[in-house]
Amino acid sequence: MAAPLTDQEKRKQISVRGIAGLGDVAEMKRSFNRHLHFTLVKDRNVATPRDYYFALAHSVRDHLVGRWIRTQQYYYEKDPKRVHYLSLEFYMGRTLQNTMINLGLQNACDEAVYQLGLDLEELEEIEEDAGLGNGGLGRLAACFLDSMATLGLAAYGYGIRYEFGIFNQRISGGWQVEEADDWLRYGNPWEKARPEYMLPVHFYGRVQHTDSGVKWLDTQVVLAMPYDTPVPGYKNNTVNTMRLWSAKAPNDFNLQDFNVGDYIQAVLDRNLAENISRVLYPNDNFFEGKELRLKQEYFVVAATLQDIIRRFKSSKFGSRDPVRTSFDTFPDKVALQLNDTHPALAIPELMRILLDIEKLDWDKCWTVHLDRIAALFPGDVARLRRMSLIEEGDPKRINMAHLCVVGTHAVNGVARIHSDIVRNTVFKDFYEVDPEKFQNKTNGITPRRWLLLCNPGLADIIAERIGEDFLTDLQQLRKLLDFVDDEGFIRDVAKVKQENKQKFAAFLEKQHQVKINPESMFDVQVKRIHEYKRQLLNVLHVITLYNQLMCSQAAPGYHMAKLIIKLITSVGEVINNDPAVRDRLKLIFLENYRVSLAERVIPAADLSEQISTAGTEASGTGNMKLMLNGALTVGTEDGATVEMAEEAGHDNLFMFGLRVDEVDELDRRGYDARRHYERLPELKLVLDQIRSGFFSPEQPELFSELVSMLLHHDRFKVLADYEAYVDCQERVSRLYQDAAAWTRVVIRNIAAAGKFSSDRTVSQYAREIWGVEPSHVKIPPPNEPPITPQS
């Protein structure tokens, strides 16, 4: 056998990473040195590693520019229907490696940097994550941007350029401590400010009705400054735009009215306006009823709609009637997708622009809504109240979800089970009136970042067997079923996983001074801490295992989440330092989970924990990433995990626990957690230990409220699934003992992961909601003759 490949050699293997021609490498080195000199104003005597990262980032960025301009020219010439994805979050992570991969520059950069005496992986580590998201919802938006560009859609991401993204999490004394995420401190080489496209956004004020229509007066104006980030497709020369808005105070801010005569105070108060884009709210699946949050939502919506209408009016084949633009073709040229209800204000804001500014007269539409319901269900006053856009009460409230359903032509859940719940429970009344409006689009993940980038070893051995087309057509992974019993492939899959685990163990030892045994099963639950995701169920099982080994020899959600973290670190403290356990069981809380950490841990995982209470996880996407990277799933029948089991066959996932209808039934009967406590001695021991301070000797009462929550008011029914979970984990352990059998199931799972590509998800949105066709057109690269409009 040949000597094992080094990491650098492995990254070069797959041909999709680009052929590093001598000329390309020489040009990359020249560019690097030019940027170090002219852009960073450094020589190699004083340059820091960060300077080298920036020199490389600028060199790679240069390759985007021509393609970016060319793509936008192409869209202007062809004037296709444009797709606008509005989201309060874009959880992009790092950009350098993804750009090199999508442009096929990775080998050229690797070689150039190597010849300059530097290490590419080390430089990549210097890049700050763009953490403009909380978790799954924001990462979905990022995966969709990659897929939309790869599918050749004329698409735009619109959001907010938060100055501070999701906080950095440190663990101190076992507790979470938040630090501000000052991600822009050293500058962002991937964005381009566009002050020339700055737009005003109005707040507050009053409405005056006049003969010529409605006027909005005495508003406070905040300017929206766009920052554009290129979004390259995978090797198709398409570069789309993500446009993020930053709040700027106008130069007369507060100088006219109450700060007249106090120039200094007026300038200092500019902060008030600019605070709108200061910081991302760190809430995942939780509504924050704060004025600043509402202002953020209106800010992105108001700026984005102006931008879209400006582009529509100036488009080549759209109406450019100088007197009056016809909006008749607007729906043929513009698709708007709202990511959850966060940008719901786009609906009334678009109405306002069309009615009050563009003077269109279709003001009937809203009153018609309740009239239609009244005609369909005569006398059903309760239904009318349930379906109103306005909730009676003091004060009256707008129901944003109802606004979305009524104001859109399509509504979708993000996994089949979620769409069923949307139709049968959440929007039942609306579904009965407009069944065709309700759709399903099961979420997906981009295989470029979540396989090729984060797990090059696995991508290589797959490409060796089935070629490289799976990277843009993930269903081709099915071909791996031919290799389930192929000893060579089984060996390769196991070997890659082992190498990933060793690499991750080395990272843990270097960065966090913890040693883990790379031969042991890496059982990972990586996701935001949330009660419904039931990290508690996991830790109860870990304590159970600990107790077995020893034998054989809320409060508000946020408070509860922090207490759960403290419990996990405390249990880890006891287990990891108990000489009786040695390295047979370890519990590590990985701090500061984020996209770049996900890229490290997921390829090293053996077991994926997807154990939310059935009916609470809309889809999950972490589950898909882990499946694609060769982890087996222990999971409940929730979110997209249901469809993963369907794709792979139920025998190839470890499914357990109550299903949605059983959870509902339990709610009707009344959930009695104490029954399980009294029935199961193992469980009783665990809870008694936690409550008595076994894991917190210095503060024995610390976790008593947590135990009391589990026993008396646990909305997520952790104890109801405890027994099934422990039994299921027992089955997991037995299979893991048989390495070859385990790897065969791993291969079956990878082969079944094709459905969960965001390329599939985005294609379905395109055809079934947006009314556009993925083009697969390869725009010529910038050094080829200019594009002429197609016939």
Ligand X SMILES: *Cc1c(COP(=O)(O)O)cnc(C)c1O
Q: Does 407 bind ligand X (CB under 6 A)?
A: no
Closest CB to ligand X among residues 109, 454: 454
Instruction: Decide if residue 754 touches ligand X (CB under 6 A).
Output: no
> Minimal distance in Å, beta carbon 724 to ligand X?
20
Instruction: Tell me whether residue 412 or residue 758 sits nearer to ligand X (CB atom).
Output: 758
Q: Are 588 and 605 in contact (CB under 8 A)?
A: no
Choose which of 594, 676, 691, 755 interacts with ligand X (CB under 6 A).
594
Maximum Cα interatomic distance, the chain, rounded to a whole number of Å: 88
Residue closer to ligand X (CB basis): 236 or 412: 412
Kindly state the helix (H) or strand (E) to which residue 230 belongs, with its residue range.
strand 220-232
- Compare residues 274 and 609 and give the one whose CB is closer to ligand X: 609
CA distances from 715 to 71, 293, 533, 614, 770 (A): 50, 27, 12, 12, 37
Is residue 761 close enough to count as binding ligand X by CB under 6 A?
Answer: no
Instruction: Please answer whether residues 779 and 103 qualify as being in contact, where contact means their C-beta atoms are separated by less than 8 angstroms.
Output: no
Nearer to ligand X, 295 or 527 (CB): 527
Q: Which residues contact 378 (CB under 8 A, 6 or more apart)?
A: none
Shortest spacing between CB 598 and ligand X, in angstroms: 4
| DSSP β-bridge partners for residue 83 | 155, 335
Of 233 and 635, CB closest to ligand X: 635
Q: Which residue is nearest to ligand X (CB)?
A: 622
Residues 508-567 that bind ligand X (CB under 6 A): 527
Binding segment toward ligand X, per CB under 6 A, in 13-21, 336-344, 614-622, 673-681: 614-622
Q: 133 pairs with which residues across the strands?
A: none
CA nearest neighbour of 443 among 466, 468, 464, 418: 418
Least separation in angstroms between CB 621 and ligand X: 4
Q: What CA–CA distances, in Å, run from 513 to 449, 509, 516, 575, 590?
A: 28, 4, 10, 16, 12
Map residue 395 onto helix, strand or coil: coil
**Region from 53-61, 176-184, 492-500, 593-601 binding ligand X, contact rule CB under 6 A:** 593-601
Least CB distance to ligand X at residue 141 (A): 11
Shortest Cβ 104–ligand X spacing (Å):
24
278 within 8 A of 164, measured Cβ to Cβ: yes
Q: Between 24 and 617, whose beta carbon lies closer to ligand X? A: 617
The one segment of 203-211, 456-464, 490-498, 589-597 that binds ligand X by CB under 6 A: 589-597
298 contacts 305 by C-beta, under 8 angstroms: no
Q: How many CB atoms lie within 10 A of CB 527?
A: 21
Q: How far is the CB of 377 from ligand X (least distance, A)?
A: 38
Beta carbon nearer to ligand X, 677 or 756: 756
Q: Which is nearer to ligand X, 67 or 625 (CB)?
A: 625
152: contact with ligand X by CB under 6 A: no
Q: Which residues contact 533 (CB under 8 A, 6 or more apart)?
A: 525, 527, 611, 612, 616, 617
Contact indicator for 183, 131 with CB cutoff of 8 Å = yes
Tell me how far, at minimum, the Cβ of 131 lies from ligand X, in Å. 8
Strands 632-635 and 607-610: parallel
Are 301 and 84 within 8 A, CB to CB?
A: no
Contact (Cβ atoms closer than 8 angstroms) between residue 194 and residue 176: no
Interface with ligand X (CB under 6 A), residue from 335, 595, 607, 702: 595
How many C-beta neighbours within 10 Å does residue 185 have? 8
Q: Categorise residue 182: left if φ over 0, alpha if ψ from -120 to 50, beta otherwise.
A: beta
User: 431: alpha, beta or left, given left = phi > 0 and alpha = psi -120 to 50?
Assistant: alpha
Q: Does 598 bind ligand X (CB under 6 A)?
A: yes
For 395, the token pair is: 């004060």
Sole window of 23-31, 261-269, 342-350, 587-595 interacting with ligand X (rule: CB under 6 A): 587-595
| Dihedral (CA of 191, 192, 195, 197) sign | negative
Closer of 303 and 421 to ligand X (Cβ): 421
| C-beta atoms surrounding 285 within 10 Å | 17
Min CB(138)–ligand X separation in Å: 8
Taking the complex as a whole, the smallest distance from the CB of residue 625 to ligand X amounts, in Å, to 6
Question: Least distance in Å: CB of 446 to ligand X?
Answer: 11
Q: Using CB under 6 A as the criterion, what x/- string covers residues 476-515 for binding ligand X?
A: ----------------------------------------
Taking the complex as a whole, the smallest distance from the CB of residue 124 to ligand X amounts, in Å, to: 17
CA separation for the pair 199, 196 (Å, rounded): 9
139 binds ligand X (CB under 6 A): yes
Distance CA 573, CA 332 (A): 60
Verify binding: residue 620, ligand X, rule CB under 6 A: yes
**Of the two residues 50 and 416, which places its CB atom closer to ligand X in the complex?**
416
- Residues 73 and 67: their CA atoms lie apart, in Å, by 10
In whole angstroms, the minimum distance from the beta carbon of 718 to ligand X comes to 17
What is the smallest separation between the CB atom of 133 and ligand X, expressed in angstroms?
8
Give the interface segment with ligand X, choosing from 462-470, 546-554, 572-580, 619-627 (CB under 6 A). 619-627
CB of 139 to ligand X, least distance (A): 4
- CB-wise, 54 or 593, nearer to ligand X? 593
Nearer to ligand X, 29 or 594 (CB): 594
Nearer to ligand X, 174 or 622 (CB): 622
Shortest distance (Å) from residue 528 CB to ligand X: 6
Shortest separation between residue 764's beta carbon and ligand X, angstroms: 19
**Cβ 596 to ligand X shortest distance, Å:** 8
From residue 14 to residue 33, the character string flagging contacts with ligand X as x (rule: CB under 6 A) and all else as - is --------------------
Alpha carbon separation from 682 to 544, 732, 752 (Å, rounded)? 7, 19, 36
* Interaction residues for ligand X, span 78-137 (CB under 6 A): 135-136
User: Residues 6 or more apart from 579 whose CB is under 8 A from it?
Assistant: none
CA distance 17 to 471: 12
**Only segment of 20-28, 321-329, 592-600, 704-712 that touches ligand X (CB under 6 A):** 592-600
621 makes contact with ligand X (CB under 6 A): yes
Instruction: Map residues 623-662 to x or -, x wherever contact with ligand X holds by CB under 6 A.
Output: --x-------------------------------------
As a whole number of angstroms, the distance between CA 380 and CA 366 comes to: 19
Q: Cα separation of 406 and 409, whole Å?
A: 8
Burial of 790 (0-12, 13-18, 19+ CB in 10 A): exposed
Binding-site size for ligand X (CB under 6 A) equals 12
Place of tokens 């396989």: 451
Q: Which is nearer to ligand X, 696 or 749 (CB)?
A: 749
- In the complex, least distance from residue 181 CB atom to ligand X, rounded to whole angstroms: 13
Q: For ligand X, give the closer residue by CB, 472 or 623.
A: 623
Residues 287-326 that bind ligand X (CB under 6 A): none
| 527 vs 717 by CB, closer to ligand X | 527
Query: Considering only residues 230-269, where is the footprint of ligand X by CB under 6 A?
Result: none
CB 28 within 8 A of CB 114: no
Footprint of ligand X on this chain (CB under 6 A)? Answer: 135-136, 139, 527, 593-595, 598, 620-622, 625
